[in-house]
Amino acid sequence: MREIMIDTNEPYRVLIGGGLLRDAGALIQSLERKPGAVAVITDSHVGPLYAERMEESLKDFRHYVYTVDAGEENKTPETLIAILRSMAQHEITRADLVVALGGGVVGDMAGFASAVYQRGMRFIQCPTTLLSAVDASVGGKTAVDLPEGKNLIGAFHQPAMVLCDTDTFQTLDPARIADGAAEIVKHAAIADEKLFDVMAAQDWQSDIDAIVARNVEIKRSFVLQDEHDLGQRQMLNFGHTIGHAVEAWSRFRLSHGQAVAVGMVMETRAARRLGMTELAEDALIGILEAKGLPTAVDATAEDILEFATRDKKRQSGAVTVVVPDRIGHARLERLDMGRFRQYVEAGLP
């Protein structure tokens, strides 16, 4: 088992290892303030696989399991309210604990529910996808979507602990593994050349615990510099400025990881063609294709601009983009809207 401390205002531990779900109850017992009851929030994919294991582990706590329909399309205020009402009906108090058992969607919703239930209570993340393990389990971002846009309402709310049982990745299909790989390649591209080399290898999954741990460390280093996402943390948006737009343009037929893969390639190409970097996009294309990820779409510049400028990160007519100087290092640049248009056009294949 690996353990990483995240030193936010209220520090917490990220534990990574096979079989950790079985230890959930004992680990909750180890919290400084023990909860009286536990609300386990999961979804219709993950619940049938792991809820029983979780309940067995929680047998010494009063607890219940609430299962939401799986899928990003259910990450809505309505599902959030249903979760919150279930908590009230089970007489959960703010001294109790929420456990988010699932991928990013469950983590986002259960985390947000715990941020606002009785004005805030603790929650534990149990990511069951590679993507949520390397991405969503550090950073404290929780949210649900509105019809007007993704993640439009939410809270910054740090978990009390993250339990990453890497055995759960064994039930993921290859496309979901690839989604995780896209975010890992992103972390590698902006911060860790060695990790990039590891990901280039055929057998990159052979020590998945180590890879998850390294990604948590990378994400931590950016998040701790900037807990509220105003500066350095924007570096983590590499591939996302265009990727989010591509994801929305595709009406979410592309997964987040697939869209980020396309976004990284386009953003690197754009920066190179505008003379902002000497890094070529070839290495990225090679590694992403080997993981089964797309690296181009047939969206036009207009398509991308339309969705990119809707994004909530746009402020006062300028867009911050992440420019990879070389594999393992990146910087931020602010582009006015005219320049951003050139950038998007330059990113097309």
Q: What residues make contact with a copy of itself under the rule CB under 8 A?
A: 36, 77, 81, 84-85, 88-89, 93-95, 112, 115-120, 141-143, 146-149, 152-156, 228-229, 312, 314-316
**Least CB distance to a copy of itself at residue 119 (A):** 5
Q: Which is nearer to a copy of itself, 28 or 211 (CB)?
A: 28
The rounded distance, in Å, linking the Cα atoms of 115 and 142 is 8
**Least CB distance to a copy of itself at residue 209 (A):** 30
Residue 18: Cβ within 10 Å count: 16
Q: Is the alpha carbon torsion for 242, 311, 246, 157 positive or negative? A: positive
Q: Which is nearer to a copy of itself, 93 or 206 (CB)?
A: 93
Residue 286: Cβ within 10 Å count: 11
Cα–Cα distances in angstroms (integers) from residue 202 to residues 146, 290, 298, in the given order: 40, 8, 29
**Least CB distance to a copy of itself at residue 81 (A):** 5
Q: Which is nearer to a copy of itself, 1 or 318 (CB)?
A: 318
**Least CB distance to a copy of itself at residue 262 (A):** 25
The rounded distance, in Å, linking the Cα atoms of 248 and 259 is 9
**Least CB distance to a copy of itself at residue 232 (A):** 17
Q: For residues 125 and 16, is the Cβ–Cβ distance under 8 A?
A: no
Q: Which is nearer to a copy of itself, 228 or 253 (CB)?
A: 228
Q: For residues 107 and 131, is the Cβ–Cβ distance under 8 A?
A: no
> Partners of 124 in the beta sheet?
99, 161
Q: Which is nearer to a copy of itself, 194 or 310 (CB)?
A: 310
